[in-house]
Amino acid sequence: MKRFLSGDEALAEGVRLARPNIISAYPITPQTVVVEHLSEMVEQGRLDAEYVHVESEHSALSCALGASATGARTFTATSSQGLLYMAEVLSYAAGGRFPIVMMNANRALALPWNIYGDQRDSLALLDHGWIQLYVQDNQEALDAVLMAYALAEDERVSTPVMINLDGFALTHTYETVDIPEPEQADSFLPPYRTKNKFDFEHPVNIGYSAGPEFNRYYKHAAHWDMVDALPVIDEVEKRFAEVFGREYPGVLEEYRCADADRIIVTLGSVAGLVRQVVDDLRNAGEKVGMVRLRYMRPFPAERLVKALLGVGAVGGSSEASGEASGDDNADDGARSKAPAARSIAVLEKDISFGAEGTVFTNVSSALLQAITCAPSASACGIRDICNFVGGLGGDDISYEQVEGIFALLKRRASIVEDPNAALVDASAEASNAASGAAKAAAHTSPLDPRKKVYFLGIDSLEEGGAR
């Protein structure tokens, strides 16, 4: 059945189809519509779940924790300050291996107070052991709920999942969404079965303390089970496509990357805009592409590296890199298409103050490791990589800005390729240390290859432009 739904509404429909036993959530803009809709569904009898009216986000997730320990399927939803307020409980849920599914409406963090979308809330909490998925549109929001439960509850994974929707850009924007039939959903997602729960015949102690001599085993298992969830994501999506006829590209989506000399790596709803710019520039003969990260945890390092280094880029296989590079033909095919060198921009709605965007850090780390360990495995070199921070506090990321990023990458590339340019720059600085103004000018020049982090709407993407 096709309906015109907001992201929040589409997600709530997904939750209804997943039939959770327990919903415990606390309202916060822009997630509110989700909890309102779920309450309505429960009242109307369309959803046979217990809605617990908790008094805070901390209690929302704690309640889900207790319910999950009884073997119940549980759902919660939050955003921004609410996510931070429940942060303590995130590690309990992940550490206890409770497959809770949560929706997070990505929203800015105070101060200054701001209710609009950016991704600092969830990206600040990457390290708490939750699988993190970023969706691009409302259909994906609905479908993600069903796949999230399938993934979280898979015995090999047993890890909670956070589904992130850009605040307002998705939560409050209407699109046509195909709502599956309940029977279809049931055939895809069977009831939750687990051994990780209370048992009246053989009582258990759940969630205890483990000192230095044992702790590492739990953390080791949590890490590798999360890494090993990567192929499970593909399995789940394959099964999803069989039942519902909709295909998803796995942990990341490669868009027109194979022969691209410039690629924007991004995540969430802004991917729609980047895709449009890529198409338009392609029509104008420019070789540009996009990688949309769907999962930030587990981090899809292997597939990302393949996409960015041009190895086996066509088809976006998520097989182990050993297999791919063992296949000479596939490799050669990619090599012949890949450019000699390529520039990468990471576009994200996040900044880790004093460092750089968190997605940029993750992408850079994956690339550094790949290039260090096996330089010859690359089909192309990376000549430049930089970070664009935009959309903070709901700021619009415009078509022109995305176009500007691709244009800037091109101009920077010509500088990077001219060794004298960099040399002149460095020696000028050394010989004229007193000239603070010159130094500042060099650092604010968008063409300075040392400049890595650009704030969209503040930093000029044009040489000579105002800062």
Partner 1 sequence: MKQTENLSAALPPTNPAAPLPPKPLTAKTLPDDEFFFGHKGCAGCGGALVVRQTLKVLGPHVICALPAGCMSAVGFNFPQLSFANNAMITPFAATASVLSGIEAGLRAQGIKPEDCTVVGFAGDGGTADIGLQALSGAIDRNDDILYICYDNEAYMNTGIQKSSLTPFGAKTTTTPAGAHVHGCLTRKKNMFQIVAAHDIPYAATASIGYLNDFIKKVQKAATIHGTRYIHVIAPCPTGWGTREDETIDLAKEVADCGLWYLAEFEGSQLCGMPGGKYIVNRRPKEFSSVEAYLRRQGRFKQLDENDVQEVIRERDIAWAWLDDLATGAK
Residue 183 or 201: the one with the smaller Cβ distance to partner 1 is 201
Residue 55 or 183: the one with the smaller Cβ distance to partner 1 is 55
113: Cα separation from own chain's centroid: 24
Per-residue tokens: 137: 């549109």
Residue 23 C-beta: closest distance to partner 1, Å? 10
Cα 28 to Cα 25: distance, rounded to the nearest angstrom: 9
Residue 189 or 304: the one with the smaller Cβ distance to partner 1 is 189
Smallest CA-to-CA distance from 33 within 68, 67, 7 is with 7
Concatenated DSSP letters for 158-180?
---EEEEEETTTTTT-EEEEEPP
Whether the CB-CB separation of 135 and 165 falls below 8 Å is answered with: yes
204: Cα separation from own chain's centroid: 36
Residue 204 C-beta: closest distance to partner 1, Å? 5
Smallest CA-to-CA distance from 130 within 270, 232, 229 is with 229
For the purposes of burial, counting CB atoms within 10 Å of the CB of 430, is it exposed (0-12), middle (13-18) or buried (19 or more)?
exposed
Residue 100 C-beta: closest distance to partner 1, Å? 10
Residue 49 C-beta: closest distance to partner 1, Å? 7
Residue 318 C-beta: closest distance to partner 1, Å? 26
Residue 71 or 457: the one with the smaller Cβ distance to partner 1 is 71
Cα 51 to Cα 411: distance, rounded to the nearest angstrom: 55
Residue 324: CB atoms within 10 Å: 18
Residue 196 or 460: the one with the smaller Cβ distance to partner 1 is 196
Q: Is 323 helix (H, G, I), strand (E, B) or coil?
A: helix
Whether the CB-CB separation of 313 and 256 falls below 8 Å is answered with: no
Residue 130 C-beta: closest distance to partner 1, Å? 16
Residue 50 or 279: the one with the smaller Cβ distance to partner 1 is 50
Residue 109 C-beta: closest distance to partner 1, Å? 21
Residue 102 or 382: the one with the smaller Cβ distance to partner 1 is 102
163: Cα separation from own chain's centroid: 9
H/E element holding 354?
none
- The residues binding partner 1 (CB under 8 A) are 21-22, 24, 49-50, 52-56, 58-60, 62-72, 74, 88-89, 92, 97, 158, 195-196, 198-211, 214, 217-218, 221
